[in-house]
Structure 1
Amino acid sequence: MPDPELTSVERTALYKSLGNPLRRRILEYLGRHGEANSTVLAKELGESSGTTSYHLRKLAEQRLIEEIPEKSGGRERWWRTLPFSHTTPDPATMTAEEYAAAEHLALLKIDVDTELFRRAHQEYRGPEGWAQVQRHGAWMSKDELRAFLREYHALLDRHSHSREDAPEGARPVSLRFYAVPDAVEEPEGEPTGG
């Protein structure tokens, strides 16, 4: 897992790497299939093995994937993803280059998330189905929102598994969490009551 105390230069490189279309496809493939080598990825993604090999090495340098030593031998190297968690810092603390890389990655994520939102609605089959859509609103203080987010993470940890430890019938599930405070509207004049 990448160090949570990454420097601005390291975060910029991470955002650029995650924003690279081929590297995203490699990470998605490894996430779905568990492991692959450059030849498998080249065939599946329509690229040359030299190209996939280069991008695999770059992803490994950023500790997003690792080699599987027991499967690798000679020139054939097999790879798997590593656990990954990163929270983007306050944009006001970023350099211009870091912000540009983070913004580019965020726009790519919005496209992916929009497609997931559409799929969730299209695939919804009621409250017992795999696809679920929930929308809520609440009044919270910032401290309560931060506590809610900590509990959300704990709940996710309690109910999720690694690929290797998942029970039979488990599927990869994409979850997204957004919290955005509504705009504060100042009342005009005195309340009229009623």
Structure 2
Amino acid sequence: MPEQELTSVERTALYKSLGNPLRRRILEYVGRHGEANSTVLAKELGESSGTTSYHLRKLAEQRLIEEIPEKSGGRERWWRALPFQHTTPDPATMTPAEYAAAEQLAILKIDVDTALFRRAHEEYRGPEGWAQVMRAGTWMTKEELLDFVRDYHALLERYGHPREEAPDEARPVSLRFYAVPDLVTEWNGEPTGP
């Protein structure tokens, strides 16, 4: 799936949207259940239908969800998630507003990722279970690292499925990947790191 080309203003709005706790919960619900309307979301999330309706429209403006025309009618509008992929640009190229919004979103993501990391450890049942944890370290050149990341994306495309095409036994799975060079130090008298 190709990434959307976004302007700095669009990225700032996207980061603010994704950093909004209620909008994140709406996206998670729609992603998990495939579709929802404002009434269902209001009941499930403990909000008013007016509030969920407003946030659904805002998420649609950013092309994160879309209306399901065949299910919508009158005042009742049903929504589904859209495929979305985005890579945050180099922070040095961001405007101050964009950077602030991206930073707030990153803090929220760290909290979510920390909770997932704890769950993965708590739910680990061995190498054949659903929860898997792997930590590794190695030596790579920058080009090898970039090739590795490209291959990682290819693996996700090879083994992952959009919700509507997933086999019956498939479950939604959260995956996280990060790579960071070790701090600059010395190894056998030679400098290492970036």
Judge same fold: TM > 0.5, yes or no. Answer: yes
Mapped to 1, the partners of 2:189 and 2:129 lie a distance apart of 49
Q: Percent identity?
A: 84
Mapped to 1, the partners of 2:2 and 2:45 lie a distance apart of 26
Corresponding position of 2:178: 178
Corresponding position of 1:117: 117
| 2:68 counterpart letter in structure 1 | I
Does the CA contact (< 8 Å) of 1:64 and 1:84 recur in 2?
yes
Go from structure 1 to structure 2 and tell me whether the alpha carbon gap of 1:77 and 1:147 turns closer, same or farther (over 3 Å shift).
same
Which has the greater radius of gyration?
Answer: 1
Corresponding position of 2:147: 147
Map 1:1-194 to 2 at 5 A.
Answer: 4-186=4-186
Mapped to 2, the partners of 1:172 and 1:185 lie a distance apart of 40
Does the CA contact (< 8 Å) of 1:2 and 1:62 recur in 2?
no
RMSD: 1.6
Mapped to 2, the partners of 1:189 and 1:141 lie a distance apart of 19
CA shift, 1:183, in A, is: 1.1
Instruction: For structure 2, list consecutive stretches of 5 or more residues without a partner in the other structure.
Output: none
What TM-score comes out, normalization by structure 2 length? Answer: 0.94
Partner deviation per Cα, 1:65-104 (whole Å, 9 max, x = no partner): 0000110011100000000100000000011110000000
Mapped to 1, the partners of 2:21 and 2:136 lie a distance apart of 33
Mapped to 2, the partners of 1:171 and 1:53 lie a distance apart of 28
CA shift, 1:148, in A, is: 0.4
Mapped to 1, the partners of 2:3 and 2:180 lie a distance apart of 27
Mapped to 2, the partners of 1:109 and 1:149 lie a distance apart of 20
Mapped to 1, the partners of 2:20 and 2:2 lie a distance apart of 18
Mapped to 2, the partners of 1:71 and 1:13 lie a distance apart of 28
Instruction: For structure 1, list consecutive stretches of 5 or more residues without a partner in the other structure.
Output: none
What TM-score comes out, normalization by structure 1 length? Answer: 0.94
The count of corresponding residues between Structure 1 and Structure 2 is: 190
Mapped to 1, the partners of 2:100 and 2:164 lie a distance apart of 36
CA shift, 1:3, in A, is: 5.9
